[in-house]
Amino acid sequence: MDWTALSVSLQLAASTCLLLVPFGLWLGRTLANARFRGKAFCEALVALPLVMPPTVLGFYLMQSFGAEAPVGTFWQWAFGEGLNFTFSGILLASLVANLPFAVQPIQRAFETIPANLREAAWCSGLSPWQTFLRIELPLVWPGLISALALTFAHTLGEFGVILMVGGSIDGETRTLAIAIYDRVQAFDEQGAAIMSAMLLLVSFLTIGVVYGLAGRRKWRHA
Amino acid sequence: MTSGHAAVLLGLFSLLPLSARADTPTVAAASDLQFALTEAAEVFGEGTGRQLRLNFGSSGNFRRQISQGAPFELYLSADEAYVHALHEEGRTQDTGVVYAIGRLAWLQRDEQDDLPGEEDPLAAVREAIKDHTAGEGRPRIALANPDHAPYGVAAMQALTHAGLWEAVEPLRILGENVSQAAQFALSADARGGLVAYSLALAPPLVERAEHVLIPESWHTPLVQRMVLVDGAGETARAFYDWLQGEEARALLARYGFRLPDDEDDAP
């Protein structure tokens, strides 16, 4: 069992959730409420990582991460390290790959809130911020939980993109999914079997716990 | 089935490319043959009018797929152990033949002006380690994953031979196969990498990279063996025979492979 790889995977999934879900909350709410020309193309842009093969995404990321490409150059200047073959690199890749998983459930949830509900809250003297925290957030809670669970689980399972930009570095970019592939390649079926079972268990438990949380919350509000 | 259905099926069938119906064998080849074998298949095709479908990838993957009944007719492995293993499983016609011996090379982008010399081909690795220890960036060194790729094992042995294996650890990036290792070696974040000489000599890489050969005594020989899989057809056999002929040998030599009986051919 490659514990280092499991730890890399968990760190990657947790960091992705921590950074992406708050952003998803903002973008999902904005997209749900906004009416503007070209909105469909904005939504298509968000959905793109969902329909593109990971190899396409990996290829573009690899190109833009290079020490001579804009993103890579900026990162080098700001943090003193490149993006290809680093944890920051696979984290950034994972943020892009998971965008639809974080934004779409939240956007759908916000879309179900009728506009007059918010207006009623304002008339009752709640500030927009209070309205968001006490009216909207409880209503979109299930969507938020879905976003969290999907992002976490999808990051744990991410393979193609990380294979292309990671470089399989022990303790840095070798995630559990990559380690399993390496074990299979090395004819170590037993190692692959143990790690696969571990990944299955962790994913199942995470989603179970998260859905459980969502259910209890709904029940309390009923 | 009604005649309508039959007509639809017939229509669909006619959409299949012609080659899929004729004797067009599928060939599984190690990724260090990416360029050499593509050219070989073209030359073979021009001479005989026969077509081949080439698949490149990790030798280990192909070994597993063939053992599970994948429809490859010819298997060119970068590690002869895989061929022997398949033979023991009764998947191949015989034990095959050694078609080439692979060489390892140091590969780097050509805008870097300090290509190591033949006498010290790993000098760049030593420099990279020195720079990293001095806190001057993290120049990466690419190789194929030594856990399963034959060229990765050879690279590890060469680095160990030079006493650099431990020190290079923080700089190591591992390609899934030797082709990916070469691609990593040419990325702007890497100082270079240890890859197949046959890839370093391929036109797309010659255009943008430089290389220096690693002495063969620094690693276990990369003995590459090919074999006809059970059920191989006429075209596969013809190609197998052709690959052992003079024309193919000259082509493989041009891609930097050492040929199995060079010694015997010597005057």
pTM > 0.95: yes or no:
no
pLDDT at B9 (0 to 100): 60
From the list A85, A181, A182, the residue facing B189 with the nearest CB is A85
* Contact between chains at B174 and A84 (C-beta distance less than 8 A): no
- Could you confirm whether domain B7-101+222-254 is CATH 3.40.190.10? yes
pLDDT at A115 (0 to 100): 85
Q: Is the pLDDT of residue B13 over 60?
A: no
The DSSP code for B175 is: E
| A194 confidence band (pLDDT: 50, 70, 90) | very high
Residues of A in contact with B184 (CB under 8 A): 85, 167
Residue A181, chain B, CB below 8 Å: the answer is yes
As given in the structure block, the two tokens for residue B59 are 């030798």
For range A81-104, the mean pLDDT = 93
* Contact between chains at B60 and A185 (C-beta distance less than 8 A): yes
Q: Give alpha helix (H) positions in chain A.
A: 3-33, 39-51, 54-65, 70-79, 87-97, 99-111, 115-123, 128-131, 137-157, 160-165, 176-185, 189-221
Residues 6+ apart with CB under 8 A from B5: none
- In the stretch 78-117 of chain A, residues with CB closer than 8 A to chain B read 81-82, 84-85
Would you tell me how many other CB atoms lie within 10 Å of the CB of residue A93? 29
b/e sequence B15-30, b meaning 16+ C-beta within 10 Å: eeeeeeeeebbebbbb
First vs last C-alpha separation in chain A: 44
pLDDT at A214 (0 to 100): 73
For range B7-16, the mean pLDDT = 58
* Contact between chains at B188 and A85 (C-beta distance less than 8 A): no
pLDDT at A222 (0 to 100): 45
Would you tell me how many other CB atoms lie within 10 Å of the CB of residue B68? 8
Full strand arrangement of the beta sheet holding B97-102: B53-57, B26-30, B74-76, B222-228, B97-102
Percentage, residues of chain A above pLDDT 90 = 54
**Each residue's pLDDT tens digit, B115-167:** 898 889 999 999 999 999 998 888 999 999 998 889 999 999 999 999 999 99
**Average pLDDT over chain B, rounded to an integer:** 89
From the list A81, A167, A187, the residue facing B184 with the nearest CB is A167
Rounded Cα distance between B34 and B199, Å, is 8
pLDDT at B264 (0 to 100): 44
**Each residue's pLDDT tens digit, B16-50:** 554 444 689 999 999 999 999 999 999 999 999 99
As given in the structure block, the two tokens for residue B148 are 């399963």
Which range is least confidently modeled, A30-44, A55-69, B77-91, B240-254? A55-69
Q: Do domains B7-101+222-254 and B102-218 have the same CATH topology?
A: yes
| B8 confidence band (pLDDT: 50, 70, 90) | low
For range A49-57, the mean pLDDT = 91
pLDDT at B249 (0 to 100): 95
- If you classify domain B102-218 with CATH, what class do you get? alpha beta
| B3 confidence band (pLDDT: 50, 70, 90) | low
Residues of B in contact with A183 (CB under 8 A): 147
Rounded Cα distance between B50 and B238, Å, is 9
Residues 6+ apart with CB under 8 A from A210: A145, A148, A149, A152
Residues 6+ apart with CB under 8 A from B251: B36, B39, B40, B43
Residue B89, chain A, CB below 8 Å: the answer is no
| B12 confidence band (pLDDT: 50, 70, 90) | low
Residue B61, chain A, CB below 8 Å: the answer is yes
pLDDT at B61 (0 to 100): 85
Q: Pick from A14-23, A118-127, B129-138 the range whose average pLDDT is largest.
A: A14-23
Cα dihedral: A159, A161, A166, A168 (round 10): 20
pLDDT at A6 (0 to 100): 94
Residues 6+ apart with CB under 8 A from A17: A148, A151, A152, A155
Residue B161, chain A, CB below 8 Å: the answer is no
Percentage, residues of chain B above pLDDT 70 = 89
* Contact between chains at B188 and A67 (C-beta distance less than 8 A): yes
Q: Where are the beta strands (DSSP E) in chain B?
A: 26-30, 53-57, 74-76, 97-102, 104-109, 140-144, 172-175, 190-196, 209-213, 222-228
Q: Where are the domains of chain B?
A: 7-101+222-254, 102-218
* Contact between chains at A169 and B61 (C-beta distance less than 8 A): no
| B72 confidence band (pLDDT: 50, 70, 90) | very high
Q: Which residues pair with B76 in a beta bridge?
A: B29, B226
**Each residue's pLDDT tens digit, A133-167:** 999 999 999 899 999 999 999 999 999 999 988 88
**Count of A-B CB contacts under 8 Å:** 56
**Each residue's pLDDT tens digit, B93-110:** 999 999 999 999 999 998
